[in-house]
Amino acid sequence: MAEPLPTDPTQVSPNPNAVEGSGEPALPDIEAEPLSLDRAVELLSDKMVNWSDSAIALLPNLVVAVVIFILFYAIGSVAGRAAMKAFNRTFDSNAVASLLAALVKTLIVAIGLFIALDLVGLQKAVVSLLAGAGILGLAIGFAFQDLAENLLAGLLLSIRKPCVPGDLISSNGHLGFVQQLNLRNTIIRNFSGQVIYIPNKEVFKSVLENYSKSGERRIDIAVGVSYGEDLDQVTETLKSAVSGLDFLREDTEASVYALEYGDSSINFTVRYWIDYPDGKVGYFDAIDAGVKAIKRAFDEADILIPFPIRTLDFDAKGGIKLAESLQTVMDHKAKESKGQKAGDQA
């Protein structure tokens, strides 16, 4: 059974391929109906009305979103200040504390922003922001890899605290007092007065010696005596000389050891402890005082510190002894002298 034709001519679907006179409706000629100014104003007015209706419908959520963002911003500011105080007590570096406090504030404000955007129906914007932040973070990580590594090492050093400003440390071949620990460098001042910047990653990866942690340091002085000396007397003289120093660490005593047979002497090592680096004297001053005290004690006890001695042995196997060689030369000289005298008498 054939379907009935629509009675309303407006319900007939236009056929773009229809031929005039075939009975099929054709597409209207757009150029035949130019857009008038009144029609444009009408369309714009309708669009503005639609936008106004949407804005009015969205207004409650928009107000709530603004309030939530302001609330989270205020919470972030308060939390940032509180975190700054807490981190200042935890970390010795003000730069590290400021960075962590800023991260706390930024995280809270970002959460508020995402919630506000979700309330006004901008879920896609939230996803785009998160994706963009991830890509941006990855790009920054590759571009500033060295800086990021030093930053992370600085944070770990601030948490672990192997050294603090004022400590005497040795790291990467540099010895000096820590001046500052910032996000990129550990700054020390050596004994020559130069300020040295050591990257945090190098400090974190390498061996770090902190002389201020124990508060003490051992002094070692090597000295040699003649083979003809009484070794027990030498030991007592050395202990007496060093024990008289007034800067030795309390509850410690000097130790003396005969360690080896040297080329020209029997070598001793004297060891004693000092408070360091906050003691009465510095490291080199303690060595200087010890060396002078030992020299005075040896002079008083008539103990010899020998110069290098060399023994020349000409009695090598298959060779001529030095005495025989000298005797031959002397005999030859004597014969020449006698012959000369006989010639003069003749």
For residue range 24-54, what is the model confidence (pLDDT) as tens digits?
A: 555 555 454 566 776 676 677 767 767 666 6
What CATH number belongs to 162-210? 2.30.30.60
Segment of 57-61, 102-106, 331-335 carrying the highest mean pLDDT = 102-106
Residues in the chain: 346
pLDDT in tens, 274-305: 998 888 888 899 999 999 999 999 999 999 99
Does domain 49-143 bear CATH number 1.10.240.10?
Answer: no
Q: Cβ(305)–Cβ(225) under 8 Å?
A: yes
Percentage of residues of the chain with pLDDT beyond 90: 34
| Dmax (CA) of the chain | 178
Q: Cβ(203)–Cβ(172) under 8 Å?
A: yes
Answering whether pTM is above 0.95, one says: no
pLDDT in tens, 5-30: 444 444 444 555 554 545 555 555 54
**Residue 140: how many CB atoms within 10 A of its CB?**
12
Run of H or E including 253: none
pLDDT at residue number 19: 47
Number of alpha helices (DSSP H) and beta strands (DSSP E) in the chain: 8, 8
pLDDT in tens, 222-256: 999 999 999 999 999 999 999 989 999 988 899 99
Of the CA atoms within 13 Å of residue 299, those in its CB half-sphere come to 6
Which has the minimum average pLDDT: 193-202, 242-251, 313-322? 313-322
CA-closest candidate to residue 283, choices 175, 156, 145, 146: 175
Enumerate the domain spans of the chain.
Answer: 49-143, 162-210, 216-301
Report d(CA 141, CA 26) in Å as an integer.
Answer: 62
* Residues in Cβ contact with 213 at an 8 Å cutoff, skipping those fewer than 6 apart: 167
φ/ψ of residue 68, rounded to 5:
-65, -40
Indicate the CATH number of 216-301 among 3.40.50.970, 3.40.50.300, 1.10.3720.10, 3.30.70.100: 3.30.70.100
